[in-house]
Structure 1
């Protein structure tokens, strides 16, 4: 069973292979020019450097992360000054000098709405099948009616009951809606030896967009 305690333990024991050093090249390549001060939501953000990159583009960035350790490491690793306030079950860390907030707590307790865009590199694929519908519905409820979404998904032939979870194309289209489009995919086994060494024959990373009608 994949619970909050599972992820908290992964951070405590340093088993965070999902964390990427540096900015994700998919983000740099496929994030569009949105209006300055657009509100960008980053669910299950960990200590990703992608948050800094998005904030430096001039967006109002909100990352949501369960693990207090991940939050502490993000703030410390980037030498950030911040102010913290408690709002119910969530801690709000507002970064000084950057348009960036880190919300510490359970993503499903986060209820803000009206975000212009969402960046999901490793959130949906961290959700077991039993929570995946809830995750997508909760995320869509946080967004405006015509948001921009950049979603990175995986399909693979590995263990089905441990993350990162494989998510098929039909689920993505059915749950995110017909406006979502796959823009690129790559079998990483063919380009990165580590996936072959880990026993995969197929490990496809795909990038998806929902583009607002005004930007089409």
Structure 2
């Protein structure tokens, strides 16, 4: 998704960000929100990580005993993830997607457009920076597609952002009302933090507030 002359984000936008190293959305180490708020799911649960980048959160999830599938558009991100973690893997093609299966760890990376990934039956989803990477005109489609890949009783851990000011993403600001409309009435906000109060960089960038919220969909 890249910003073309009409202001629409295209796939090339993200590919260019990876190519030029403008990946401020990437965080080193394991996200503490994941460790604090992930549910204690049965070992072997199938976990989906959309728009995974080269996040080490996937390593952490696999080490907990889950079967982890990350989906990422950028081949550079995939190569860096596999190389940075010294992972041995095999690759095969499925249609437009490349499947990289890691040896010795219950982890695979699907390289390609997330909307082309149609495998179903996932028991859980971890979305740290996927929904907020989607422009408004594709956000509902992203959520609908994600939900179509999950079981009816799947657990979801979602991290969202809501902020003011003229600097409009990505990552994009998403209202709580919009999250409820897209994800359904089972989603519940369980924690939030105004990063302006805890990190001076957000105040320096002119934000009046920059709220990070944690959401769960918990199996009934």
Aligned residue number for residue 145 of structure 2: 138
Aligned residue number for residue 62 of structure 1: 69
Aligned residue number for residue 114 of structure 1: 121
Instruction: Measure how far apart 1:112 and its partner are.
Output: 0.2
Aligned residue number for residue 187 of structure 2: 180
1:46 equivalent in alignment to 2:30: no
The number of residue pairs the alignment matches comes to 213
Instruction: Measure how far apart 1:135 and its partner are.
Output: 0.1
Runs of at least 5 residues in structure 2 that lack an aligned partner in the other structure:
1-7
Q: Is the 8 A contact 1:89 1:105 kept in 2?
A: yes
1:37 alignment partner, SS class = coil
Correspondent of 1:126 among 113, 133, 151? 133
Report Cα offsets for 1:117-153 as digits up to 9, x if no partner. 0000000000000000100000000000111000000
Q: TM-score, normalised by structure 2?
A: 0.95
Aligned residue number for residue 3 of structure 1: 10
For residues 124 and 179 of structure 1, the distance between their equivalents in structure 2, rounded to whole angstroms, comes to 17
Instruction: Measure how far apart 1:162 and its partner are.
Output: 2.9
Aligned residue number for residue 151 of structure 1: 158
Aligned residue number for residue 36 of structure 1: 43
Instruction: Measure how far apart 1:159 and its partner are.
Output: 3.5
Report Cα offsets for 1:41-93 as digits up to 9, x if no partner. 00000000000000000000000000000000000000000000011000000
Aligned residue number for residue 163 of structure 1: 170
For residues 52 and 157 of structure 1, the distance between their equivalents in structure 2, rounded to whole angstroms, comes to 33
Q: Is the 8 A contact 1:40 1:115 kept in 2?
A: yes
Correspondent of 1:103 among 91, 110, 116? 110
Instruction: Measure how far apart 1:199 and its partner are.
Output: 1.8
Runs of at least 5 residues in structure 1 that lack an aligned partner in the other structure:
none
Q: Is the 8 A contact 1:160 1:166 kept in 2?
A: no
Taking only aligned residues, the RMSD between alpha carbons, in angstroms, comes to: 0.8
